[in-house]
Amino acid sequence: MPRSAIVLGAGMVGVSVALHLRRRGYDVVLVDRREPGEGASFGNGGLIQREAVFPHPFPREAREIGRVAWNRSIDVRYHPLAMPGFMAPLLRYWWHSEPARYAAAVEGHAALIRTCLDEHLALARGTPAMALLRPIGWMRLYSSAPMLEAALAQAEQARREYDVNYVALDGAALAEAEPHLLAARAGAIHWTDPLSVSDPHALVLAYAGFFQQEGGAFRIGDAATLRRAGSGWAVRTADGEVEAGEVVIALGAAAGEVTRPLGYAPPLFGKRGYHMHYGLRGNAVLHRPVLDTESGFLLAPMRAGIRLTTGAEFARPGAPATPVQLERAEPVARGLLPLGERVEGVPWMGVRPCTPDMLPVIGRLPGQAGAWCAFGHAHQGLTLGPTTGRMLAEMMTGEQPFVSPEAYRAERFLRRGMAA
């Protein structure tokens, strides 16, 4: 009899896990309370980030912490009343961002990132999904020469140690590359390896389509109804209860809601982000995504228009949207590009699922036979979905995982004290 699995969560991560399991002969039911790709995977910046070998650390310099603490910046914002709930994970995040520990996070992160282009291309090549993956890279703009120099030193380290490619541009070269920028910048780093997705939702739907064409099933259902059924697992869906031998929890920022009742409470926390699309005035074009480092927002040319995505917002899970960062970013963005009208009436909001050690949780759910984790991909879940899907499917079938899974084991959050 073929082995069977329920995959909970149909974002980029869950869809990729489901597809890889199906291709290894599993009977798979993918379950989400919404249609595939309507969580964080819907509205992100669309970057397949081959350059992102250095995960986002918690700031360690007092000046930087002070800047964020004022709560007036564009890139980071917090709801003051939510902060007590964030203290424990953020303290651990700060602890893991100390240089020696951060080096370990970089090793773990880079090992996944190195594979991201090949793993996306392995799914998309020879299919219409290829048209969504544009090989144009993206640019990070810097306002001051010292900032640019510091960034170039790190870019050079990324090239030396992790085979990341980039081109350095001074102000004039940047103006030539993107002639419709309205404001001058000291220069930019053009990361040339990354793919820029013209519609991230369409990419998730494409991979979910392959899964269903190849015999996988998708059901609407609530993951909170997960229960043990004999030696396997069952979950209620709109089409009745489904049962399978194994279950994969790929619920993004909501994963803890399902793992906690099963005895596993990872220190997962959410960083919310918003997006809005704009037209461009006149004959203006933007050739590739640009991130304005000083103000921390991304402008990406997409099917729906120029997508402005914002940095991190800390708020209680389920708290109403407060797109203050978008309101702050928009005037700066209008000074950078001749943006036209807003395309949507209401900004989109999504939640990046983050862990304090900046690494995702991929592997067995401790203490629960036949249950597996695939969540916590933070700022790079669109990038790392296919990598995670392949790795976890290989672990489940007993193959040798193509990336060593040690650094991502769920057990690392079972230990007591700050090291956990």
Ligand X SMILES: Cc1cc2nc3c(=O)[nH]c(=O)nc-3n(C[C@H](O)[C@H](O)[C@H](O)COP(=O)(O)OP(=O)(O)OC[C@H]3O[C@@H](n4cnc5c(N)ncnc54)[C@H](O)[C@@H]3O)c2cc1C
**Identified binder of ligand X from the candidate list 49, 97, 293, 387, rule CB under 6 A:** 49
d(CA 45, CA 24): 31
Question: What 3-state DSSP class applies to 81?
Answer: helix
d(CA 368, CA 283): 58
Q: What is the largest CA-CA distance in the chain?
A: 67
**Identified binder of ligand X from the candidate list 273, 296, 305, 347, rule CB under 6 A:** 273
Q: Which of positions 88-147 make contact with ligand X (CB under 6 A)?
A: none
Q: Does 302 bind ligand X (CB under 6 A)?
A: no
Q: Does 296 bind ligand X (CB under 6 A)?
A: no
Find how far residue 129's CA is from the centre of its chain: 19
d(CA 59, CA 125): 39
> Which residues 6+ apart lie within 8 Å of 133 measured at CB?
48, 120, 121, 124, 195, 196, 197, 203
Q: Does 254 bind ligand X (CB under 6 A)?
A: yes
Q: Does 54 bind ligand X (CB under 6 A)?
A: no
**Closest distance of CB 69 from ligand X, Å:** 22
Q: Which of positions 208-237 make contact with ligand X (CB under 6 A)?
A: 222-224
d(CA 66, CA 72): 11
**Closest distance of CB 295 from ligand X, Å:** 14
Q: Which of positions 363-382 make contact with ligand X (CB under 6 A)?
A: 375, 377-382
Q: Does 20 bind ligand X (CB under 6 A)?
A: no
**Closest distance of CB 80 from ligand X, Å:** 21
**Identified binder of ligand X from the candidate list 3, 24, 27, 38, rule CB under 6 A:** 38
382: nearest Cα among 58, 75, 41, 120: 41
Write each residue from 172 to 211 as x if it is in contact with ligand X (CB under 6 A), else as -, in one continuous string: ----------------------------------------
Applying CB under 6 A, what is the total number of residues that bind ligand X?
39
> Which residues 6+ apart lie within 8 Å of 348 measured at CB?
42, 43, 274, 275, 276
Residues at the contact surface with ligand X, assessed by CB under 6 A: 9-14, 32-34, 38-41, 44-47, 49, 222-224, 250-252, 254, 273, 275, 309, 350, 352-353, 375, 377-383
